Amino acid sequence: MKTLWTALFLLMLQFFTAQENEVYADGVFGFEENKTQKIFTDRTRVRLDPGVNAQIIDSLYTNQQIMILKKEDGVLKLGERAANWYKISYQKGENTLEGYIWGGNLSVGYRNKNGYDFLFGLSKTIDRKNKEYNEIQKQNIAGIKVMEGNTLIDEVYFDTGRGEELSSASFNVESSHKLQNVEFTLKAMVSGEACGIASYDQYVLFKDKKLITLPQLMNVGDAGAFYHSEEYVFPNDKGGISNAFILKVEDMEVDEKDREKKKSSSKTYLWNGSSYKLK
């Protein structure tokens, strides 16, 4: 009997350990089957089977269009990026080929405007020292690339969320917001979609084939307890001023007597048609 109880205990221990170590894919890498996507990471490896030890049969370049055929069950986590393996098909010359790639190498959003392709993706995870806590933390780095066919015109990189903050993503082309010499504005967003998990908005201006990143916006809150919000007021917005954009910040927290305490602040950035500076 003692041997039986020992065996049962070991089985339960293995079960709960497996549960704790189970890796789930980040929502931003949840691509639909039978839909087209774009390669973000240059020279993405195509494998014969899903897995890092499978034979490499090809490599694909940034902006290559592929078709998602099937999402595999296996999830690979590299740093703070976790994604499924996908079976894909793609064109190479006159041939249609198939293979498997890791979802973390795909664009999480892409747009075409004025003959250019704009790709938004997560490029890598780095170690960064947090001075406040005196410890090393993992930080994801995202990027936006502008392509003209197969030619890279420009690219910019910026911090973005960690694993729990990558539930969803969006990538849109907006107007110039009446900023001088700006053709249009790109907005990339990642969100945790849960209380206490931050979302990040990254605005990027496009002018003269160049990408210009604005200071990143962060929003976070817990219903009925606190929130921190950041937004831009552009020249074409209510309260906007010519050739400038205003960063508005608002904080709220509920004290021990359930009273809301709010505070607001703002910064104005002047835009001269090619760059910006804090007023």
Query: What are the tens digits of pLDDT across the range 162-218?
Result: 778 899 999 999 999 999 999 999 999 999 878 889 999 999 999 999 999 999 999
pLDDT value, residue 1: 47
Tell which wins on pLDDT, 264 or 164: 264
Instruction: Return the pLDDT at 33.
Output: 97
pLDDT of residue 201: 97
pTM: 0.88
Residue 20 has pLDDT above 80, yes or no: no
**pLDDT single digits (tens) 112-124:** 999 999 999 999 9
What are the structural domains of the chain?
Answer: 23-106 (2.30.30.40)
Binned at pLDDT 50, 70 and 90, residue 271 comes out as: very high
DSSP string, the chain: -HHHHHHHHHHHHHHHHHHHH-----GGG-PPTT-EEEB-STTEEEESSSSTTSPEEEEE-TT-EEEEEEEEEEEEEETTEEEEEEEEEEEETTEEEEEEEEGGGB-SEEEEETTEEEEEEEEEEEEEEETTTTEEEEEEEEEEEEEETTEEEEEEEEEE--GGG-SEEEEEEE--TT-TT--EEEEEEEE--STT--EEEEEEEEETTEEEEPPPEEEEEETTTEEEEEEEE-TTSTT--TTEEEEEEEEEEE-TTS-EEEEEEEEEEEE-SS-EEE-
Q: What is the mean pLDDT of the chain?
A: 91
- pLDDT given for residue 62 in this prediction: 98
Instruction: Answer whether residue 2 shows pLDDT above 80.
Output: no
φ, ψ (nearest 5 deg) of residue 103: -60, -25
